Structures are given as C-alpha cells and as structure tokens.
Structure 1
Amino acid sequence: MAGRINDEDLAAVRDRARIEDVVGSYVALRSAGGGSLKGLCPFHDEKSPSFHVTPSRGFWYCFGACGEGGDAIGFMQKIENLSFSEAVQRLADRVGIQLRFTEDSGPRVEPGLRMRLLEAHREAAEFYADQLSRPDALAARQFLAQRGFDRAAAERFGVGFAPREGRALTQHLKARGYSEADLITGGLTRKGGWDFFTGRVLWPIRDSGKSTVGFGARRIFDDDRLPAKYINTPETPLYKKSQVLYGLDLARLPIGKKSQAVIVEGYTDVMAAHLSGVDTAVASCGTAFGDEHARLLRRLMGNHDAFHGEVIFTFDGDDAGQAAALKVFRNDESFIAQTYVAVDPHGLDPCDLRLQHGEAAVRELVGRRIPLYRFVMSNVLSRYDLDRADGRLGALREAAPLVASVRDAGMVGGYARELAGMLGMDAEEVRAEVNRAAARASKRTADEEPEPTRADPAGEPTGPATRTADVLPDPHDRRLSTERETAKLLVQAPQLFDDDFDGLTAEDFTHPAYAAVLRHARRAAADGGVSASSDWPRRVAAAEDNPWVESLVVALAVEPLLSVEPVRRYVTAHTARLRLLTVMRRIADVKSKLQRTNPVEAQGTYNQMFSELVVLEARRTDLQNLSLGADA
C-alpha cells in the first residue's frame, strides 16, 4: 500500500499554493470586485466569463454550464488530469515544499507516471540542445543557418539535435535512473531500446506551464530511414496533439495581454514570427488546428464576449491553404467575426518572408490580415461563372450559409450586402437566401439538441449524465436571495453565528440544497467546532458524501457577500429575515385552516389553532424587529 502524504505538508501546500497563481497559469484572470477574480472557464466552452476565483478563501468555481469548483489541488487535478497525490506533488514542487510520507501505511509514495515523464522530457530537451553544438550536428546547424536562425535563436527556442547512432538518448536517460518502460510510454524510446528520434533537428513542444511534453523533428539527412519530412512524439500521457500548440510557452502571456493569437503552420514559422516581433505566434503540432486548440486560445485571451480579440491564420494562398481555411471555418461552430487570414501575395510563409524581405515584412503580413469569412467567401465564389445566372445562383446558395454563420447578428446584414455586391445580385434576394440558410441551420441544431437532463429537487440525479449545475439552485433567483445570502454566511462567516446557528432549521430553507448546507455546517461544527479559517468551507463541503452539496458549498465560498465586511448585526438580521419567512408561511397556513374550521362544531381545534396564531403573530413581530437590526 502506498504511503500517505504528511498532513502538515498537505496543509502547507494548500496554504502556500496561492489559488490565483495556480489558476492564473492557465486562465487569464481579471478583477471582479470584492476581492474576487474572474475569467473564462477552462472546463467548458464559453464566451462570457463565469469562472470566479476567491484568493482569500482559496477556492474557484464556475457559475456557468459546468458548475465545477474546488481548491488549488482540485484545479490542478482536473486541468492536468492528475491524481490527488500527483497534483499535490506538482504544487509542492512549485512552492518549494519537500513532501514527507507516513511510514505506518506503507513505503514512501514515488511521484506518479506523469511526473516521471515530465522530468524525463526536461532532461531529454537539455540533452538534445547540448547535442546541437557537437560535430556530428553540422547538418542541423546548416539547416538552421539557411533559414536565418543563429545560435542565439536556437537557444531561445531550445532547438536540438537527435544523434544518429540511435541509442544515445535512451542510454543517457537510463543512466539517470529512468526505466526503459517509462521512456517507451513517454514516446522517447521505441520498443527494442532505440531512440524515437534519430538524426533530426528537434524542437521541444511545451505546454502553457513551460513543461516539455513532446518533440517535433525534421528530416535533414537523405539516408534517413523515415521518409516523412516531419515526425512528432506519438500520443502519450503527456502529449495530445489536439491539445498542444508549439510556441505556447512563449506566447501565452502576450496572447493574454494583446487578446491576439497568430496561427502559423510550422516550427520555423513560429521562430521567424517571434524573432520579427510577432510574439503571439503558435502552431499546431502534427495535426490541423481544431476546436480544442480554439478553446485553449480563447481561455488564454480572456475574452469577455464573443467579439473580443482576434485569431489570425497565416494560410498559404494555394489550394491547400484555401482548403485549410474552409475547414477551420466549417468546423468552428462558435465562429466569430474577429477571425482573420494573413496571406502573402507571393505565397511565402513567415520563415521565407523573413529570410527574403526582413522582419518588418512579417509584421506587415499580420497587419494586412483580412476577415476569414471574406477569404473563404471569395474562394467559394471563384469556383463559379458569375457572368451566368445559374452560376450566380449556385455561388449564392453555397456562400449564404457562410454569412448566416456569423455570430454578430448586427453584422450579417452588412455582409449580405457585400455578398450581393460581389455577386452583382439584388440585396434583398441575397438577404432572403441568407435568412433561409440561417433557418435551416437552426432547425438542424434543434433536431440534434439532446433532451435536457433532469434531476430530483433534493439534488439526486435521475439520469446517468446529470450535471452539477442542473440540480443546484439558480443563484439569480430573487425568490431565494435571502436563503442564498444566509447560506453564504454559513460558509464564509460561521464565527458570526451563535452556538446554535441562530436557531436556523432545515424548514427555514425552501430549497433542499440550501437546507443541506445548514446540515453540513452543523455536522462540521459538531465534528471539529466552528472555524473562521479558510479550512472551514472545505470541512463543510466534506461533512457528508454528497457531490451536489459539495459543489454548492464551493460556489458559496467563492461568491461575494452583499455586505463587504459582515458583522454580527448583519448575520442576526439575515437569519431573522429567513426565519420570518418561515413564520409567515406558517401564519398563512394556520389562517387558511381556521377559515375552513367551524368554531362551533370543532371548538377545541379552532381555539388551539387561534392560540397558535397569536403566538406566531408575536414571533413575527419580534423577527421583524430583528430583521431590521433593531435588537441585534
């Protein structure tokens, strides 16, 4: 059985791994007021930020579709697909804590596979970079020089060389203590003990946290046994080609600051762009730019709406480039107007453009960008004879869905008029076809939309795919505003309640989820007392094994209170207001029963209910005064 992380070390990691720093490494965060930060959720696709981080309590939560939430460790687990112990180890390394492990439950826990592979890749990148200066790497240095890259450029991007003998890296890493099985799993070694890369120029591919997760390699020798010009690390626990972008480690911060990303097609193009001052350039690795890449860039750009920022593609002007542009356009279901194409009129890519015309030409290429929809639409229209009526009609029918897919409805009319001008057709006829295309697209979306998942009001799912957000109360429901604020006080300011939580009971909450928060708080208090520390929300969330309530507790811990600095008077008034609503519901119920009761035929029952009503009315008066803060 594996050893357990020392409790003190675990608490130290939670204390020193600042949630804003951890999340900020992956998501662009901006102030949301009240000591809270917000950004785009990294766990689902969205255009308006619903992802909140509260540094003072060490929690994050998405108030959008996914309803995910937790602390720094939970964030690291989810964003990097790590186990709990691996996430703690990653954060401990980040904040400089040497973890200790209990011995009574077994041997010391070693870092997980992912951690071992990350270390192996770091050492492999250093090994390859060192090899570039060796005599047998002359061809690699000549290749770089022919493309305008000197030694400083190679060092900046970590460019390396894989030796030709075939076992050099494997032997080097095995001497450092890595097993051959791990090296094969990580894509560094092939079965049989041969290096995965031999006799090639290499570029380390790093994630947004600057960790090397794979490599891209180019053929430079004619006798290379692999005919492919470029090969990449195979799919591994670290390297998922649909989720990585070359150059992201260098471009992450500029992308966030400028809300711009420039997509180029190769490793040398990324180098040329950055050396020319286009520091937002990245490239996909071994695959076409896809939806997961787009979601990654949107998060890093920190968009506050669908029309903020710009993504610029540097497709070639040839048929392949046109096909690639059309594929991006058609696959981008969340197409926005700020997607552009930068095409050199002579068909030069950024690397060749820098080499032939200088760095200023690369900057000008990006500056001359045109909207992607216009580039695609022009290519579509070029396939038809617009001098013929049937040619114009065919072009319209193919181009209309492109215009209809533009997200900004206010711009569709202008684009339709522009299309009419390009076709030489009546603007109303073109607009009508665009509207028909939009209607067809809406019908397809409605037909493909899955039936919404339902959940039990008490928070228990009734279907296999119920999301947390489906069973939680609407945070904007004004009918539940008092209940939500009181629940937030239970999570954020428990020290301001008396020992009995001011007499609150489950029946004071009309929503079962809020009632469950009170139940969790009472259990946490019974188990370890009430605490004003940042650990209290975690204790409340874990008081019972209920993921729905755990998620709600995290949300309540992150959501700002209506009062910036609550005091005892505020808590007393709020709990009194909540209890007042319960009393008023009870008064209405008793009055209804009195009206249905005959005072002569059921005199005893009638008098008993009347006495109860008198007591309730007196309690109502007291609670009204407390709710106004009169006796707080």
Structure 2
Amino acid sequence: MALDSRFLAELKNRNNIVDVIAPAVQLKRNGTRHTGLCPFHGEKTPSFTVFEETASFYCFGCGAGGDVITFVMKYHNLDYMEAVRLLAERAGMELPEREAKADLAGRKRRERLYEMHRLAARFFFDTLTGPAGAEGLRYLTGRGIGREAIIRYGLGYAPDSYYALKDFLREKGFYPEEMLAAGLLAKSERSVRPYDKFRGRVMFPVFDLRGNVVAFSGRIIGEGQPKYLNSPETEIYTKGNCVFGLHLAKNEPEGLLILCEGNLDVVSLSQAGFTGAVAPLGTAFTKEQARILARYAKTVVVAFDNDSAGLKATEKAIRYLEENGIPVRVLQMQGAKDPDEFIKTYGRERFERLLKNSKTPVEFELDKLKAGLDLNDTGMKVEYLRQAVEVIAGLESAVERDVYIGKLSRELNVGAEAVRAETARIRKRKSAAVQQKAVRAGEQELKGVYDRVNPERAGALRAAKSEEMLIALLVRHPDLWEKLRAALPPEEWITSFNRRVYEFLLKEFAGAPDTAAPVFAGAFDEKEQARISFMINAPVLHGDPWGQMADCIQIIKSEGAKKIDPGALSAEEIMRRLQTKGD
C-alpha cells in the first residue's frame, strides 16, 4: 500500500531509529553511529550499525539493512502495514484517512480470521471433552496425556463429519469462502460443495507469539495418511515463521528450550515438567525459526527422533542455531525413538539426567563418526582419527580445538602433539581452499552472477559506484534534487537498480521537499532495502556537495556501459578489487 510521503517522513521523524532499536539491541555510541550485536544472526563482535544521520541500520556481517519500518517488520515478524501501525501508535499518530480505511479493512479481515480460528479451536476442544470426542480422548489418554496438558495446549478433536465445523462457524456468522481461505474447509474435484478439512483427527492448535490461534495440525488416529494434516499458509500464518509451543516456552525462566520433532513430544515433555519444549510445524526446521528462537533461548537442546532422518535434521538444526549465536546441545536417546516414548518408558528423572549429559555439537559429530566402528581394529581406528581431526580442525577457537585434541588423544591413546600437528596441517589446507573459493566467488561476483540486486553493477563498476555516491549525497542534501535531475536525468543512469532508487528519491523530494530521510520500506524488497542502506551510509567528504556530485556526473556520462572482463584478471587482481569494492 502506497502511503503519503509526508506522513511517512513524519512517522520516521517521530520514531527515532536508535530509540526504537535500543530495547532489542544493546547499542554503543560512536559519534553519530551506534553499534551492537546483530539481532538477525549470531556474532560475538558487533557488526550491526545504526546511522542516526540517515535514520537507517546496516549489518556488515549478514547484510541486513533498512530503515526503522524495516527493522520493526524484520524483528517483530510483521507485515508492512502492521509495522507502520505499530510505529504510528508509538508516536501517537493516526494513519491518513485513505490508508486508515484500507488498513481498517485489512485489520477487520485479519480479525475475522483470528476469531474464526479461536472459535474453531473452541469447537475442537469442546468436541474432545464431549461425547463425540470419546475416540480422541481415548487416544490422548492412551498416549499418557492428561487433562491439564490438554487444557494447557488447547488440544481438541475434529469429529469424523464433513460439515460439523462448517455448520458451527456458519451459525457464528462466517461464510464458506472465508473458511476456505482460512484452510478450515477443503474442496474436491467430485464436489463443488466445501467440506471440513479436518475430520476424525486429534487437533493441535498453533498459536502465534501473541497467543492467537493461527493454524491447526491434525493427527490421525490409527492407520492412514497423512499422519499429520496441517493448515495451509494464510494471511495470518506462515509455516516457517511459527514454532509450536513457543507461546508458552518463551517464558521458560532458565531460557532452556528443547527442540523436538513432533507436537506430541512437546506436550509430553511439558507435562513432565520440561516447559521449554518446542517443535517445528509440519516442515523442516528453518533459518527463520532459528532466528525466532534466538530471541528467547539461552541454550537449545536438539532432541529430534533417533533415526536417520532425525540425525540429518539435527545436523541442519545445529547449523542454523549456531549461525544465530545460540549455544547448542544434542540429546542422544537410546532405547526410544523420541522424547515422548523415552519419558513413558524410562521416566522423568532419567530424561532429566539425559538432558544434563547432552552432547556438544562436536561430541555429537564425533559419536556419529565412530558409530559401528571397532576402535581396536587399526584400520578403523586410523580412519576414525582422520575424520575426527577434520572435525576438530574446523573449530575457530584454539582453546576449543585443544580441548578436543586432548580428549581424542586420550580416547585413542595417540600422542597429543601428533594430533595437534595433523590438525594444523588440515587447517592450513582448508585456509588455502577457502582463498581459492574466494577467488572463484570473486570472479562470479565481478561478472554480476551473485549480485541479485544490481546485476549490471559489475559490468559498469566505475559508473555504478558514482551512481551510489550520488544517491548517498542526495539523501544527505535533498535540497539539490532539482539541480541534480537537470544535470543528470534518470534515463542517463547506467544501472537499472540505481536508476530506480534515483527515480524514487526524486519523486519523494518533489512530493515532500522538506523530507529529511526518505522511507524505502514498502517500495523496495528486503534485499533491496539492505543494499540501499549500505549505499546511503557510504562515507562522503564534507563540504561542497555539488562539487562532489558534478564529479560523479562526469564519470557516469563518460563511462557509459563499459564492461569488465573477469577472465582477463589475475587472482591477485580479483582479490584486490574485491577488497576495495566497498560492497
């Protein structure tokens, strides 16, 4: 939705970006900049920077960037209008009448979706606890799930009827079209009449972090496929952005979250007193889910199923969680395929011991390598040692490497110095491989292959850099927009993306000449906003902005669409150019 430029400028002025970000990120002031640890990826050295002068942020580690609206959208997982409304409420502002009407229509539509899901959850719960839910209640009781856990997670039962929920919701004033859009009804090729999507299933409502029911997961009783039937994505639900049980687990006082594979594992663990249990939703664990967990977890213990698929999922989960700076442990269960079965078989106390003795990711990897090997066999011992050293060599921390070198040395009765020397040799080899990879990536980048935002940049690098400098200068000196447009109209710009940013700025300044900081959110996607944030915060010389602009104009006019041939460059030249590119 296109919002009035003056309104957006006022919204941005009233919501100081430092004040908005400070509750989420511990910022340290450095002149007009503020730095801190990035909330969007894991890091130990601050690379997240907030620029007061341009009212924007940029992370030099992961490349996230944008303005205050972008930050609120990304951090709180909101859409554009939700973020605008939140900031407007924070600043005591009202949305412009036209946008307010459109936003009101969208809000009413979403409110009806939330209400529909709330009523559906109530219907399933009441069915479970009534005569029609006897089969569902028998199933849950047989799985050891008690009434308190049923109430805590709002579990229910969808009767084996084609129209029970549909009729119930119609009585509450909802239309079949709305129920279809919500994923509560389905259609078949044989009948145009919509029918209940969930039938004869134990129902697990999915809550967002604010406690709203946004979707359902239905588990079949007995044989049949699919085992779990899940809601489709809707206006209020994105599968990869929700984590089952997190609306409760986020309040876990110790910040210890247990990442399980299934919904029943979560309910069973919570019932046993492990209230930090969560699970992905009918999908593989995603990077976005890891980022969400990073807001609430001090440690995550991965407790996926004890099978080959579970082991693969564990490896991916470890990678995503570590990328977000979360300390990870791995639970390895023997004699049970999942946490639910383990607790029922061995009890709460033994699971607690298992939790306390959970492995580090490196220990998990080493255990996986030696599974099935006879370490008394010289050949197997050497092979395990070779692979184990590869794992240890990949650790960045010298202290951590030394700890595992000592453990491996004692375990295999091999001299620590020999293990240390082999580790150093492998690290040297890997370092050379990384440099070669960087050269190859550099060749691709110079060809524009990896620049999805501005693929033309590499082919006209000097002109593109001058365009970027003009954009940075224009944002700082909006009073020069008319003079710049006359000297260099948009059609004379070389790269399409930079031209689009330039045209946007000209339109913004023409509509609101006093705009101090244009709002790019809403007009550009997330990656484009990050690139713009990087561009507008490039260092510029103080004094004579028009003189600097004139120099850039001259370069753009003279360069045209000059191409660079990466194949003609040496590896040293590619690395030199990459280091000086500034992108």
TM-score range, shorter chain: 0.5 to 0.7
Cα–Cα, structure 1 residues 23 and 539, in superposed 2: closer, same or farther, change >3 Å? Answer: closer
Deviations 1:389-442 (A, max 9, x none): 211122123333322233423311221232233233333443344345445554
- The answer to whether the 8 Å contact 1:132/1:161 transfers is yes
Partner of 1:162: 158
Give the direction of change, closer, same or farther, for the CA distance of 1:16–1:113 in structure 2 (3 Å limit): farther
1:372 to 340, 361, 373: 361
Aligned twin of 1:232: 230
Alignment CA distance shift 1:343-1:51 (3 Å): same
SS at match of 1:214: strand
RMSD of Structure 2 on Structure 1 (CA): 5.4
Alignment of 1:214-613 (within 5 A): 214-220=215-221, 222=222, 226-235=224-233, 239-254=237-252, 258=254, 260-301=256-297, 309-315=298-304, 322=311, 324-326=313-315, 328=317, 334=323, 338-347=327-336, 349-355=338-344, 359-439=348-428, 441-442=430-431, 445-446=434-435, 448-449=437-438, 450-451=441-442, 463-464=455-456, 515-520=473-478, 537-538=516-517, 551=533, 578=542
Query: Please, which moves more after superposition, 395-404 or 444-453?
Result: 444-453
For residue 398 of structure 1, give the secondary structure of its aligned residue in structure 2: helix
CA distance in 1, matches of 2:75, 2:425: 42
Q: What is the aligned partner in structure 2 of residue 194 from structure 1? A: 195
Q: Using a 3 Å threshold, how does the CA distance of structure 1 residues 324 and 425 change in structure 2: closer, same or farther?
A: farther
- Give the secondary structure class of the aligned counterpart of 1:246: coil
Q: 1:352 to 1:440 in 2, by over 3 A?
A: same
CA distance in 1, matches of 2:238, 2:407: 41
Residues 189 and 555 of structure 1: CA distance in aligned 2, closer, same or farther (over 3 Å): farther
Structure with higher Rg: it is 1
C-alpha distance in 1 between matches for 2:473 and 2:244: 49
The Cα shift of 1:520 comes to 1.7
Q: Who is 2:126 aligned against?
A: 130
- Distance change (3 Å), C-alpha of 1:519 and 1:293: same
Question: Which secondary structure state, in structure 2, belongs to the residue aligned with residue 516 of structure 1?
Answer: helix
2:72 to 71, 75, 98: 75
Question: What is aligned with 1:305?
Answer: none
Residues in 2 aligned to 1:156 and 1:78: alpha-carbon distance in whole angstroms: 27
Cα deviation for residue 343 of structure 1 reads 3.3
Q: SS of the residue aligned with 1:297? A: helix
Q: Residue 376 of structure 1 aligns to a residue in which SS?
A: helix
TM-score by length of 1: 0.62
Query: Equivalent residue of 1:165, what SS?
Result: coil
> What TM-score comes out, normalization by structure 2 length?
0.66
**Aligned partner letter, 1:551:** S
Alignment: residue pair count? 498
- Kindly state the Cα deviation for residue 165 of structure 1 after the two structures are TM-superposed: 0.6
Q: Structure 1 residues 274, 115: closer, same or farther in 2, change over 3 A?
A: same
Which amino acid letter does the alignment assign opposite residue 245 of structure 1?
V
**8 Å Cα contact 2:300-2:326 kept in structure 1:** no
Quote the Cα distance in structure 1 between the aligned partners of 2:207 and 2:102: 35
SS in 2 for 1:387: coil
Using a 3 Å threshold, how does the CA distance of structure 1 residues 129 and 440 change in structure 2: closer, same or farther? farther
Q: Do the aligned partners of residues 376 and 529 (structure 1) sit closer, same or farther apart at CA in structure 2, a change above 3 Å counting? A: closer
Q: 1:33 to 1:130 in 2, by over 3 A?
A: farther
Pair 334,168 (structure 1): closer, same or farther in 2 beyond 3 Å: same
Using the TM superposition, give the Cα deviation of residue 164 of structure 1 relative to its aligned residue in structure 2, in angstroms: 1.5
Higher RCO (Cα < 8 Å, 6 or more apart):
2
For 1:215 and 1:85, the matched residues in 2 are separated by 25
Q: Deviations over 1:192-251 (max 9, x none)?
A: 41222111111122333444332222222x4x6x33433323455655544432112222
Asked if 2 retains the 8 angstrom alpha-carbon contact of 1:28 and 1:300, the reply is no
Give the AA of the match of 1:518. Answer: R
Structure 2 counterpart of 1:69, one-letter code: G
Change (3 A) 1:549 1:380: closer
One-letter identity of the residue aligned with 1:286:
G
3-state DSSP of counterpart to 2:196: coil
| 8 Å Cα contact 2:331-2:354 kept in structure 1 | yes
Q: Which residue of 2 aligns with 1:142?
A: 138
Q: Which moved more, 1:95-104 or 1:202-211?
A: 95-104
Query: Structure 1 stretches of 5 or more lacking a match?
Result: 302-308, 474-509, 531-535, 557-576, 584-632
Task: Summarize the Cα distance change of 1:29–1:396 in structure 2 as closer, same or farther, 3 Å threshold.
Answer: same
- Cα distance in 1 for partners of 2:197, 2:19 equals 36
Report the more deviating stretch, 432-441 or 205-214: 432-441
Given that residues 265 and 339 in structure 2 are in contact (C-alpha distance below 8 angstroms), is that contact kept between their aligned partners in structure 1?
yes
% identical equivalent positions = 27
The one-character-per-residue Cα deviations of 1:538-586 (angstroms, maximum 9, x if unpaired) are 45989x9997997379979xxxxxxxxxxxxxxxxxxxx9559999xxx
